[in-house]
Structure 1
Amino acid sequence: MPRLTDAIKHIIIINVILFITPQLLNIDLTNILALQFPKNPHFGIWQYVTHMFMHGGFAHILFNMYALWAFGTPLEQMWGRNKFLFFYFSAGIGAGIIYTLVNYYQFNGIYDQLTNLGLSASDIQNMLDTGRYNQGLVTLPAAELQQFYSLYHTPAVGASGAIYGVLVAFGLEFPNAKLALIFFPVPISAKYFIPLIILGDLFFGVTKYSIGNIAHFAHIGGALIGFLIAWYWKKNQFRVQ
C-alpha cells in the first residue's frame, strides 16, 4: 500500500473538513463554494477552485478521495509536491471552465428560442426565478424548459474533474497497469480502461441516457487538461527538479 504523500494528504484533509463541518454546524456552503452558473446571482469566480472541495454525499467524496490516493500517489512521487499541485488544480479549474462553457452554450440555445417566441429578458428571468411560465406562449417541450431551469440553478460540486485529469496522467505514465471497476471486476490495462471511461462520459454527456446528476463535461474537461499537461511533461521527460 503506497504511503500518503504530502500534497494528497492535505487535499484529502481539506475535503473531509469541508464535508463534515457544514453537517456538524448545520450550515449550507453551496451558494458560496459550489460552482454556480455565471448568470446565477450566487456565482463567484473563486468557485472554480472551491467547488473541487465540495461533495454531494459520502459515496461521492469516498470514491474521489480513494481515486486521488490510488492514482495520484505515484504521480506525486514522480513529479514532486509542487508540480502535482499545479497539475491537480489546473485539471480541476480547467474542468470547471469547460463545464461552464458547455452549459452556457446549451443555456443560450434555449434562451434564443424563448426570445424568438416573443419573451422579453424580464419574462425569461421571471421564469428562472419562479419556475412558472405561460403555457400558451411558451411552446417548448417541458424537458427542454426543465433543462433550462436546471442549468441556471444547479451548482457543480466535487473533485471529479481534477480526478479525471489524474486518471489520464496515470494512464500515460503507467499504461500497462491493470485496473478494474467494482461492477466489472475484470482487470484491463490503463491504456484501454481510462479511454473507455472517458468515452462513456462523452456518450452520456451528449445523449439523454445519463444516470443521476453527473457533470460529464467536467469529467471530460479535466481529462483533456490533464492529458495536455501530462503529455507535454512526458514528452519533455519532466521529473522532480
Structure 2
Amino acid sequence: MLAITPTVRNLLILNILFFIVDKYALNLTNGFALRSLFSPDFLPFQFVTYMFLHANFGHLLGNMFGLFMFGPLLERVWGPKKFLFFYFFTGIGAGILFSGIDYFENSQVRQAVEIYTQNPTPDALVDFMSKHARGIYEASLDFVNKFEDNPTNSSYIQQSVNFVNSYYQGLINTPLVGASGAIFGILMAFGLLFPNTELFLLFVPFPIKAKYFVAFYGLYELYEGIQNAQSDNVAHFAHIGGMLFAYILLRYWGTQKTNFY
C-alpha cells in the first residue's frame, strides 16, 4: 500500500479535529454549517467551513475513507497545490449547486406559505402538504381530519398557519455539513483519470472498473436528488455538484498546454 500523502493527511487531521471540537467542546455547526440563502444565519464563508463539519461519526468515517482511498493517488499526479485547489473547488462548487437548487425549491414553499396564510382552509392545507410536505402528511392526518370537520374553528385555523410556517422555517434552517461534495469530486476525477482501474467494493462480489462505478454512482445520486424524498436527509445535489465541478475543472485543465501550477 502506498503511503498517505501530506495534503490528504492534513485534511484528514483537520476534519477529525473539527469533528471532535464540534461534538465535544464548541458547537461549530451553528455558525459554520452552510445555511439556506433564505436563512438569516447564512454567511458566505459557510461555503468553505461546512466542508469540515459532519453530522455524526459514520458520516465522518465514510467521507474520510473516500479521501484516504482515492485522494493520495490524485495528489501524486497533480502535486499538493493543485490537489488542494481541486478539493476546495469541488467542495465549494457542491455547496453552490446545492444552495441554488435549495433556493429554487424553498422559494416555491415560501410562496405557498404566503398563499395559504391568506386563505387557511382544510382543502388548502391538504393541497400544501401534498405538494410540499408529503413526508409528514400521515403523521398530521389526525389534525387534518379534525380541521376538515371544523373548518371555521379559529384554533384549528391558527394551528394550521403555525404548522406551514414552522415547516418552512425548518426547511430553511436545516444546515448542510460534510466533505461529501469534495469527496465525490475526487471520485469523479479518479474515474476520469484512471477509468479502467478495477475496484473491489464491499457487498459487490466482482471487480468493477472505476468508470462504470462513477457513472452508476452519479446516476444514482441524480435519481435520488430528483426523487427528493422528504424522509431522506442526504444532500444528493451536493454530491452531484462535486462531480459536476470536478468534470468542469478537469476539462478546463485538459485544454491548457502548460501545467496549472
TM-score, with length taken from structure 2? 0.79
Structure 1 residues 235 and 72, CA gap change in structure 2 (3 angstroms): farther
**1:141-220 matches, cutoff 5 A:** 141=129, 144-145=132-133, 148-209=168-229, 212-220=232-240
Structure 1 residues 185 and 148, CA gap change in structure 2 (3 angstroms): farther
The answer as to 2:211 corresponding to 1:223 is no
Determine helix, strand or coil for the equivalent of 2:207: strand
- The residue type equivalent to 1:144 in the other structure is H
Determine helix, strand or coil for the equivalent of 1:183: coil
CA distance in 2 between partners of 1:209 and 1:24 (Å): 31
In the TM superposition, what whole-angstrom CA distance separates every residue of 1:54-100 from its partner, at most 9, and x where no partner exists?
01111111111111121111111111111111111000000000000
The more displaced of 60-69 and 96-105 is 60-69
**Which residue of structure 2 lines up, in the alignment, with residue 70 of structure 1?**
69
**Which residue of structure 2 lines up, in the alignment, with residue 126 of structure 1?**
none
Determine helix, strand or coil for the equivalent of 1:96: helix
- The residue type equivalent to 2:129 in the other structure is P
**Which residue of structure 1 lines up, in the alignment, with residue 2 of structure 2?**
2
Structure 1 residues 62 and 148, CA gap change in structure 2 (3 angstroms): same
The more displaced of 210-219 and 82-91 is 210-219
**Which residue of structure 1 lines up, in the alignment, with residue 108 of structure 2?**
109
CA distance in 1 between partners of 2:201 and 2:118 (Å): 48
Determine helix, strand or coil for the equivalent of 1:64: helix
**Which residue of structure 1 lines up, in the alignment, with residue 37 of structure 2?**
38
> Are 2:225 and 2:236, in contact at CA under 8 Å, matched by a contact in 1?
yes
Could you tell me how far 1:151 is from its partner in structure 2?
2.6
- The residue type equivalent to 1:6 in the other structure is P
CA distance in 1 between partners of 2:2 and 2:260 (Å): 18
The runs of at least 4 aligned residues of structure 1 exceeding 6 Å deviation read none
CA distance in 1 between partners of 2:60 and 2:211 (Å): 25
CA distance in 2 between partners of 1:238 and 1:207 (Å): 42
> Are 2:90 and 2:182, in contact at CA under 8 Å, matched by a contact in 1?
yes
Q: CA RMSD in A?
A: 2.3
> Are 2:22 and 2:29, in contact at CA under 8 Å, matched by a contact in 1?
no
> Are 1:39 and 1:152, in contact at CA under 8 Å, matched by a contact in 2?
yes
> Are 1:171 and 1:190, in contact at CA under 8 Å, matched by a contact in 2?
yes
How many corresponding residue pairs?
Answer: 227
Identical-pair percentage: 39
> Are 1:172 and 1:231, in contact at CA under 8 Å, matched by a contact in 2?
no
Structure with greater helix share of residues: 2
> Are 2:70 and 2:186, in contact at CA under 8 Å, matched by a contact in 1?
yes
CA distance in 1 between partners of 2:117 and 2:260 (Å): 59
- The residue type equivalent to 1:71 in the other structure is F
**Which residue of structure 1 lines up, in the alignment, with residue 144 of structure 2?**
none
**Which residue of structure 2 lines up, in the alignment, with residue 22 of structure 1?**
22
- The residue type equivalent to 1:161 in the other structure is G
Unmatched segments (≥5 aa) in structure 2: 137-166
CA distance in 2 between partners of 1:109 and 1:38 (Å): 14
- The residue type equivalent to 2:3 in the other structure is R
Could you tell me how far 1:211 is from its partner in structure 2?
6.9
**Which residue of structure 2 lines up, in the alignment, with residue 85 of structure 1?**
84
